[in-house]
Copies of this chain bind each other. A is one copy, B any other.
């Protein structure tokens, strides 16, 4: 049994680091600052009027609907403000990440006291009137949220969905060697999977080229209605856990304010000195080692400084302090009085002057200018963003003399291009991926930048390991961590790309959702400068995951992305290598989007030379005359496709149809930019209906072969003229260990099925149609049998190329 008393957050400070760095005068100053901050936190939650309690508190002064969270605020404030001392003392470049949920009262209070909030939002001035507005608009309609939303100066981490504080923090300090991300990790958040593995990010941090993350695990003991795991395990387990994660944990525990001030001040200073020492040693010696970086475990009561009990029920130091600590002062006069007494215990009368401005000794305490954490430009990354130095992508292309008759590996060409992107942007671009970059055929990048690796090396790593302490590629088998790093990297002003197997990108659906939401809100925040787009390259796609089976077949990430705001999402499915290069160049130049690019990694037919590819990608959708027989005439049939493998089969189907019906007028339309399909009222990329008709007509059967689930195309085109003519094929969740042909047949996306679909929609072909249909069915069965027999598809299918002369 553990000594349970040692796990309590009460009493005189217990700490690993001893020392009393603060003078009594400083303790007084910090305590005033702490009180003023806590007052602000509570004011945000409760007050609509009477912001400084200059009158007795009445229920009319309260917000009608009480919202907001107090629980983690005092501990976060405590950490933030004590770090200010060190920023000033050592001229640190630092910012704050608020991991616990609903941390806004903490960080907003700090930004307000630093004066940054007023600079950014002048109507929230440092006086009674401004304070009243500051309070009122917290968690109020039309106001700001209870998380560290984009409206919050100093925030790059909202914390609405929990689990990403550490990975964001690490992403932000890569390639910023002087930056320290002071990162508050909630003990609830710490139970999430993404957070639990993100501690290992220290194996990917180079003390020479990167900055540092100083995590402060905030053991305030409770989540919404439950204790937290880490607050309820013996000290030795907790210490071992963080040692095991590769950190040196320092403990600061208790609730006695004066001794806690000393303990926290001493501990933070020790940690900063450790960080600086490790960095100095590495930088002076040129040897990048992995020290056991310092981290802090801060154990304080939930809702620290709140009344311990109300009506005999525990409040402070219990989960009831999580949200609005006293819920009914609007209707319970006794509780109103308790609230008033509590708020007055923070001495607003003394700590704000006549005008309502915080007194001079408070405003003198934080650093100044951009050293104020809520003003650090890294938290408005667009300010620091420099465009990438991009090589001319046209030079990396595939020579396509005969469209549709050349095989090449699109992804490998992209790999070479990315290699040179890495080389030209040695501090401004990283490639991220969960152990799949080589499998995804992008290994050329290692020539310019190896994989970052700060754990131990073995001799055989020299034999193709591609590891280096100062690499440029980040690989850890955690999509969550890779995505979190990338988000942190671009939010702080740099550029990057995540590559992933298509099926497993669903692991980070939720993270991408949240990033989209962040980006969209940023558009409404005037002072936020646009950041680089989040680029996601999906490969190892559904149609070539036949050998890995059903679990590896899921192209539905596009559905998740397409639900997000049209202002921020873009989806591209380049049909070949030159289009892939053109699209990727565009994405790397863009800002404030989530760009999703889907491309297979295997060898593929190439259709467009570079000029044609650029023209096609610029339009995003278009007719490919080379593969059409309707030029200058009304088409009998439109074959359309979106996706590289889908395009291959669509064109093969056209070829099949023309073998049987050489006179058929077929139009082929290729879609690169998926949102071209949607009505322009719903996405800025949408074609006008006139443009739509010029491509698809309003009355011709359309056989649309789609890379992903077919319903997506219906969802995009439901408003289009002639939408009932669109017959869509795509992945219908029919998967297994199959050959590519078999997988396609089961989902009816193979050439035979597509050609048959077309015949079925052209009743004017009559008997000749029926005969051709049967012939195609026979050919399909024959190919299928051959594939089953050999365990692989017949060559005449996989090596099929377009051999027709120009039509």
A-side residues, CB < 8 A to B, are: 1-2, 4, 7-8, 48, 63-65, 67, 139-147, 149, 158, 160-163, 188-189, 191-198, 200, 203, 223-229, 232-234, 236-246, 289, 313-314, 317-318, 320, 435-439, 451, 453, 455-458, 460-461, 463-467, 475-481, 503-504, 506-507, 509-510, 513-514, 517, 520-521, 546-552, 554, 556, 559-560, 562-565, 709, 711-712, 714-716, 718, 723, 733, 735-739, 742, 787-788, 790-792
Contacts and interface: CB of A to CB of B under 8 A. Distances in A.
Contacts of A552: 160
Given A517-B550, A550-B521, A140 B244 contact: no
A142 B742 CA distance: 9
B506 A510 contact: yes
Copy tally for this chain in the complex stands at: 2
A548 B477 contact: no
Contact of A241 (B147, B245, B478, B788): B245
11 contacts: A145-B736, A145-B737, A146-B549, A188-B435, A193-B478, A196-B200, A203-B232, A509-B509, A520-B733, A565-B733, A712-B715
A481 B197 CA distance: 14
B723 A718 contact: yes
Nearest to A505: B510
A192 B478 CA distance: 5
A419 to B, nearest CB: 16
A466 to B, nearest CB: 8
Contacts of A8: 458
A167 to B, nearest CB: 9
Contacts of A503: 161
A91 to B, nearest CB: 32
B549 A463 contact: no
Given A4-B457, A244-B243, A158 B551 contact: yes
Given A227-B458, A554-B563, A718-B718, 5 more contacts: A195-B197, A225-B439, A226-B467, A506-B513, A507-B509
A438 B225 contact: yes
Contacts of A521: 550, 736
Nearest to A242: B244
Given A193-B194, A551-B514, A7 B792 contact: no
A735 B195 CA distance: 26
Contacts of A551: 145, 147, 158, 160-161, 514, 517
Given A244-B244, A560-B506, A197 B203 contact: no
A141 B1 CA distance: 56
A689 to B, nearest CB: 14
A665 to B, nearest CB: 27
Contacts of A144: 737
A591 to B, nearest CB: 20
A141 B742 contact: yes
Given A244-B239, A791-B141, A226 B191 contact: no
A233 B162 contact: no
Nearest to A232: B455
Contacts of A237: 243-246
A2 B243 CA distance: 14
Contact of A200 (B191, B194, B738, B787): B191
B564 A733 contact: yes
B737 A139 contact: yes
